[in-house]
Amino acid sequence: MWRRSGESVFGALVLLVLVVEAALLAFLTRGFALRLIGAIPSLRLEATVSWAVSTTALLLVVLVVYVIGYHHLSGIWQRRDLGQLQAWGETWVKVLHGDAPLPQGPLSGPAEEALLALREILHGDEGILLQDMLRDTGLAADLVKRLTSRFLVRRLVALEGLARARLLEAVDPLFVSLDGKEPAVRLLAARAIARTLGGLALGEPDEGRTLRFAASLRRAELPKGVVDEVLLLLEGRAKHLIRDLLRDPPASAALRRAALEALGRLALLDMLPIAAPALTDSDGEVRAAALRAILRIGYIPPDLLPRVAALLRDPLEFVRLHAARAINLVPGKTALDALVECLGDSSWYVRRSAAEALALRGPDGDAVLEEMSRTHEDRFARDMAAQVRADARAQAADRLSGGVRR
Amino acid sequence: MTSILVVDDDPAVTNVLKLFLESSGYAVVTAQGFVAGKKALESSLPDAIVLDLNMPDGLGLDLLSHLRVQLQRKTPVLVLSGNRQESTVLRALEMGANDFVRKPFSPREVTARLRKLLP
């Protein structure tokens, strides 16, 4: 508030100075023009110049005093706020530990901030106690009430607070915010819901809310990065949501990609069969995301192998690149043959990816690379095999010399 | 008395751990941030360290490396971090961390794990 008001006053002050200076310059110009034609005596012009210069100096002094005073006061108030925050932090920890009585609401800004900061970092028994403290002080109800404020900033601050508070009773009001008009509100609401549901103790029923969340996400049109973050925040509880986003009718391509990224990042091995249809998706980015999920998990179920192998001939270069990396997860000759075929790909990136995959297969892969560097019918494939072998040897030598130095 | 150094830039974390660990009978020294943590490591010999990985003025992993490589100390280190990347956890353990607790955390869990790490 102080910062916003202070900056507004500064803006108004600068505008006033500019207006006065413009008027002074106009007055001076007029004075010089009149003096040129002899309409006023030089003494009067000198008086006008002196008056203009002293007014300018005065205005500059006012501006400088304001800026210095503003920063000085800001510093004092910032230190006071930090001190209050620290004191409230210590008070809440004592309350949590049973060493002090619970302060009654309404709470001041630093008290709210300190309580939310503590709730953000704690779970388990202390987390449950803090939730009760949020309710008993009235802060929980107040945050929910602020979601309906007509001021956007107030609503955003409340959403941020609820994301930290992780209160189950706030999820339904948060769904209303997620269906709202402002993109920033939808984003923060999605994050708050994900943090709340992701923080639920294992065994608490959540499927209904998670499916409602999936339906809201389908409508909310959030950027893919936000959906990625939301799914990761849900952690183990992301399963229902991922399943929903990949089932028929499919969600948008961006949501399907986000679901596949989360499936891989959360290493949900048991859900890989759900990713199978994505390997033949009409959207290349989705096919690539399915391959990345497989790569992150590090395993190709046997029934998915033909689909992954088929993607080695995908029309899109980046899909073939991921397919070449994924096929390397398969042990044995099948993968070696597939990678040799990829060495002759028209794309430099796919050839490089296939050669690097072969190099990672140890002596067997190196032997194939050596043979291909001499015998492959494609000149570019031979060059790539030789180059990657040389790079692998150089890296091994570097590692060895690093080890000796250590 | 067994002493524990808590290095974290978040005063909420240092406050809560200080109170809970002190009530369990440990002497607790707190350092807010990388620079303060490094100074505390060099000037004291705690029996165990609770270390945050992401601090605005430096990485906990660098502090861990400083402890193990430069200072050549085997003090037990419990890493406390909100980082959800498995690779970061593994890296911390490879670099000599003895245990890992994720934020949000339970102070009782941290106390119990520290008790196990202490001789």
Rounded CA-CA distance A54/A329 in Å is: 81
Q: Which residue of A has its CA nearest to B24?
A: A97
Instruction: Let me know if A27 is exposed, middle or buried by CB neighbors in 10 A (0-12, 13-18, 19+).
Output: middle
pLDDT of A88 strictly over 70: yes
At B77 the three-state DSSP class reads: strand
Interface touch A121/B109, C-beta < 8 Å = no
At B49 the three-state DSSP class reads: strand
| pLDDT per position as a tens digit, A149-194 | 999 999 999 999 999 999 988 999 999 999 888 889 999 999 999 9
Distances (CA, A) of A281 to A90, A231, A291: 55, 21, 12
Distances (CA, A) of A299 to A72, A259, B14: 61, 18, 41
pLDDT band at A204 (very low <50, low <70, confident <90, very high): low
| pLDDT per position as a tens digit, B22-32 | 988 999 999 99
From B93's Cα to the closest Cα of chain A, the distance in A is 19
Q: Which residue of A has its CA nearest to B87?
A: A265
Greater confidence (A167 vs A210) lies with: A167
CB contact set of A125 (below 8 Å; sequence gap of 6+): B106, B108
Distances (CA, A) of A175 to A28, A217, A227: 64, 10, 15
Which among A90, A97, A123 is the nearest to B104, CB-wise? A123
pLDDT band at A406 (very low <50, low <70, confident <90, very high): very low
Greater confidence (A332 vs B57) lies with: B57
At B54 the three-state DSSP class reads: strand
A118 touches chain B (CB under 8 A): yes
A127 touches chain B (CB under 8 A): yes
pLDDT band at A248 (very low <50, low <70, confident <90, very high): confident
Q: What is the mean pLDDT of residues A377-406?
A: 81
pLDDT score of B84: 67
At A29 the three-state DSSP class reads: helix
Interface touch A86/B11, C-beta < 8 Å = yes
Interface touch B108/A122, C-beta < 8 Å = no
Distances (CA, A) of A332 to A91, A133, A136, A356, B76: 63, 59, 63, 17, 43
Chain A residues with beta carbon closer than 8 angstroms to that of B107: 122, 126
pLDDT above 90 as % of chain B = 56
* Confidence check on the interface: ipTM exceeds 0.90, yes or no: no
Closest by alpha carbon to B109, among B83, B80, B85, B84?
Answer: B80
pLDDT above 90 as % of chain A = 44
pLDDT score of A133: 94
pLDDT band at A2 (very low <50, low <70, confident <90, very high): low
Which among A90, A117, A123 is the nearest to B105, CB-wise? A123
From B41's Cα to the closest Cα of chain A, the distance in A is 24
| pLDDT per position as a tens digit, A35-75 | 889 888 888 888 889 999 999 999 999 999 999 999 999 89
pLDDT score of A362: 83
Q: What is the mean pLDDT of residues B94-119?
A: 90
Question: For residue B49, how many C-alpha atoms fall within 13 Å in the half-sphere facing its CB?
Answer: 29
pLDDT score of A190: 93
Greater confidence (B119 vs A244) lies with: A244
Q: What is the mean pLDDT of residues A305-312?
A: 91
Interface touch B108/A124, C-beta < 8 Å = yes
Alpha helices in chain B (DSSP H): 11-23, 34-43, 60-65, 86-94, 107-117
Which among A90, A117, A122 is the nearest to B107, CB-wise? A122
Statement: the pTM of the whole predicted model exceeds 0.90:
no
pLDDT score of A1: 56
| pLDDT per position as a tens digit, A106-138 | 889 899 999 999 998 888 888 899 999 999 999
Q: Which residue of B has its CA nearest to A86?
A: B11
Interface touch A122/B106, C-beta < 8 Å = yes
Per-residue b/e over A59-90, b at no fewer than 16 CB within 10 Å?
A: beeeeeeeeeebeeeeeeeeeeeeebbeebbb
Q: Which residue of A has its CA nearest to B8?
A: A121
pLDDT band at A402 (very low <50, low <70, confident <90, very high): low
| pLDDT per position as a tens digit, B31-60 | 999 999 999 999 989 999 999 998 998 899
Three-class DSSP labels, B10-37: CHHHHHHHHHHHHHCCCEEEEECCHHHH
Mutation choice for B interface testing from A85, A126, A164, A234 by most B CBs within 10 A: A126
pLDDT score of A22: 94
From B21's Cα to the closest Cα of chain A, the distance in A is 11
Mean pLDDT of chain A: 88
pLDDT score of A10: 86
